[in-house]
Structure 1
Amino acid sequence: MKYTTVHLGDNKIELFNTLLGKETVKVNGEVVSSTYSMLGAEHTFTVREDGRDVECTIQFGFGMNGVVFDLYKEGTPIIESEQKGCMGMFIVFIIVFSIIFVLSQI
């Protein structure tokens, strides 16, 4: 499912995230990065600006309101989401608690 679109100069950056944890980044319709992650991942890719390659980084994560992302261009923040909260630890806690509960029922 498409998460969001960011226009950076003449480039259209699209972010996709599935329920199964597949994260995909497209620039101008072309896949530039794709990986599976349950707690968020970092994607590094280049875009063409003013005749030169510019390195960009997108970091997916979880915040208090769900999926969040940060976008950096050559290390400079372009978009910074709210602080990534304790959602990752909460998910790990739920998984561990579920395993302990299931094992205790055996």
Structure 2
Amino acid sequence: MALYTTRIEILGSNDHGAYQTLNDAMEANGFFCTIQLTSTSPVYKLPTGEYNWIGEMNASFVLEAAVKAAAQITNQVRILITKVDNIREWYNLEEVK
């Protein structure tokens, strides 16, 4: 299974409501807004506009899925897909309760 991190910036918007709507669209298209080191460790919220994808698809497929989800909100976005090949580190993320 491959793991991808997707970063989406909605151009010209700092509106939290726009990102919440984007979160809903991304989750409906197979993305999730959380990160977890192991299956038994705590779950944390990713920063605004960041999403994870796990699956057998390649980066082009993940990008197309992200574009499709974002287009439900706006076409004015920037999107970056990164394949995760190593353990990730983070700081000060909010734990999901």
Structure-1-length-normalised TM-score: 0.25
| Bigger radius of gyration among the two | 1
Structure number having the greater strand percentage: 1
Structure-2-length-normalised TM-score: 0.27
The structure whose RCO (Cα within 8 Å, separation 6+) is larger is: 2
Structure number having the greater helix percentage: 2
